[in-house]
A = this chain, B = another copy of it.
Amino acid sequence: MAHTEAPRPSVSDSGRGENRTHWRLVDISEPRTIADLGEFGLIRRIIAALPPADSAVVGPGDDAAVLACPDGQVVASTDLLIENRHFRRDWSTANDIGHKAAARNFADIVAMGAHPRSLLVGLAVPPELELSWLDSLLAGFAEECAEVGAEVVGGDVSAADSVLLAVTALGDLAGRPPVRMSGARPGNVVAITGRLGWAAAGYAVLSRGFRSPVQVVNAHRRPEPPYSEGIRAAELGATAMTDVSDGLVVDLGHLAEASGVRIDLRRDALEPAAKLRDVSSALNTDPMMWVLGGGDDYALVATFPNETRLPDSWQVVGMVNEGSGVRVDGLRWAHAGHQHFR
């Protein structure tokens, strides 16, 4: 399916500070964009670009995937990522976007105390999208899958005006009961693992047109959820757990509501890291807004029986009490996390 375009003008820098327009020969037998591949060529390229789904009973290419569920149950979560709402192609590389799209979904699986095993990737892209962008996106998916021990087992493709990803992750509880949001009980401690506020600080930096400091910008571009800590929390006897995707206070609010309890956070246990304080003072903002209201780092927050001996990776930040809602040092926090539709 070669494309037959004429040689295209290409602008190159001569190296002497002078831009010259010249003609460059393009190999017309080599597909360059999604449109050159067509739908089925695209599907073949996706399947070829990803590692084989060895664990699947039926992998990509059939009407549906078939996956083993040795303990007789499966954990399933789905997420939409829409260009210019969840990511920007000028802020993040395709590789970053693939990593993040997988990571968000894996964080939901891990927050149930499960091991992410499989990913279904719905991918809608403009026909004129460069194949190099696609390849980099797929590499991001494959790398994040390798990180957690999961595989892409299926998906769907469509044309669209902008890039859109619909990712479904499936996970394995290995016979454990799921850690739900409804199990927190008065007297439990509240503990977190992973970072809070870094991605929000990165977003703030990028929003103002900056590209550094790289630590916070990269936290926005490519979150690193504490994957192994989800199963660890389940094994430690966590009574409730969720991942922080919309902001600590908002996500704990859902957990408090589901459990019918009040959650009291201690502000001194949530002190922003020095880097966040630096960035916030440069931007003249309050770093606690990022810590308490920022999502997208995919930290895990869980409740445990008071007597649980928590490893160093988990930090106690509050208590579960009778009542409702979330308080910080006894006060309601005014700044909510991210909401769509505003």
**A positions within 8 Å CB-CB of B:** 34-35, 37-40, 42, 57-58, 61-70, 72-80, 82, 85-86, 108-109, 111-112, 114, 118, 120-124, 127, 153-160, 164, 166, 168-171, 173, 178, 180-182, 241-243, 254, 258, 339-342
Contacts and interface: CB of A to CB of B under 8 A. Distances in A.
Copies in the complex: 2
B63 A77 contact: yes
20 contacts: A35-B341, A37-B341, A38-B342, A58-B112, A62-B178, A62-B181, A64-B75, A64-B76, A65-B76, A68-B72, A69-B74, A74-B74, A76-B154, A78-B120, A78-B122, A80-B164, A82-B160, A86-B158, A158-B340, A159-B340
Given A64-B169, A76-B153, A76-B168, 7 more contacts: A58-B112, A64-B178, A69-B74, A72-B72, A74-B74, A78-B156, A158-B340
Contacts of A68: 72-73
A70 to B, nearest CB: 6
A121 to B, nearest CB: 8
B74 A178 contact: no
B73 A57 contact: yes
B166 A66 contact: no
